[in-house]
């Protein structure tokens, strides 16, 4: 999990303008931003994909393991306007049966107050988790349907290759309301 250096802290960071940030010393995440995002993604992907989280027992079955790498390119908080989350992520099966790299750029409107910023980021990260889960399910289905097809899943140009989820499918009001209610991410204190 990588986050921009300016945001790699427990304090909330807000945009003053395009060139200036303000660190809010009294308004903090419950832990570091990277830890908050990691926890939210693990919980969201596990729930949405129907998989066990890290360290869960495999019940003796031959269960595929998915490795997910996430790099947050931008994590912006614009008070009384919007939050913006720009994330590049990769999902791959540890057995080499497939890999997909995608980019999610989400902007969520926010009202006044720092709790509104937290809620906006929660909605955005919930959608990213759902996108990642969709790819996990796709990788599982593509290799379960035809194990010989697993090599195609890692090449975007191959017929039947997996593609990145369409964010429009995951942003309807009902989906966002159901997922935001789970309160997976993040927790602010202060």
Q: Where are the domains of the chain?
A: 5-52+71-189
The band of 37, judged by pLDDT with boundaries at 50, 70 and 90, is very high
CATH of domain 5-52+71-189: 3.40.50
Lowest mean pLDDT among 41-50, 56-65, 71-80, 132-141: 56-65
The band of 159, judged by pLDDT with boundaries at 50, 70 and 90, is very low
**Could you report the per-residue pLDDT of 39-57, keeping only the tens digit for each?**
999 999 999 988 765 655 5
pLDDT exceeds cutoff 50 at 154: no
Q: Are 56 and 95 in contact (CB under 8 A)?
A: no
Q: Where are the alpha helices (DSSP H) in the chain?
A: 33-49, 114-145, 173-180
Lowest mean pLDDT among 93-107, 112-126, 137-151: 137-151
Lowest mean pLDDT among 46-50, 122-126, 140-144: 140-144
Q: Tell me the C-alpha to C-alpha distance, in Å, between residue 95 and each of 48, 63, 143, 155.
A: 22, 11, 11, 16
């Amino acid at each position: 999990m990588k986050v921009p250096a300016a945001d790699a802290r427990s304090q909330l960071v807000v945009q003053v303008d395009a060139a200036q940030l303000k660190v809010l010393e009294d308004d903090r995440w419950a832990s570091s931003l990277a830890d908050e995002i990691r926890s939210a993604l693990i919980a969201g992907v596990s729930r949405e994909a129907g998989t066990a989280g890290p360290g869960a027992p495999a019940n003796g079955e031959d269960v595929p393991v998915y490795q997910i790498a996430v790099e947050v390119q931008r994590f912006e908080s614009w008070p009384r306007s919007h939050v913006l989350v720009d994330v590049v992520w990769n999902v791959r099966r540890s057995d080499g049966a497939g890999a997909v790299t995608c980019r999610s750029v989400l902007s969520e409107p926010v009202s006044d107050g720092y709790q509104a910023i937290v809620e906006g980021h929660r909605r955005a990260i919930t959608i990213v988790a759902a996108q990642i889960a969709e790819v996990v399910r796709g990788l599982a289905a593509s290799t379960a349907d035809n194990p010989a097809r697993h090599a195609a899943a890692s090449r975007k140009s191959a017929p039947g290759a997996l593609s990145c989820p369409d964010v429009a499918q995951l942003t309807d009001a009902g989906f966002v309301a159901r997922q935001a209610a789970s309160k997976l991410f993040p927790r602010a204190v202060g």
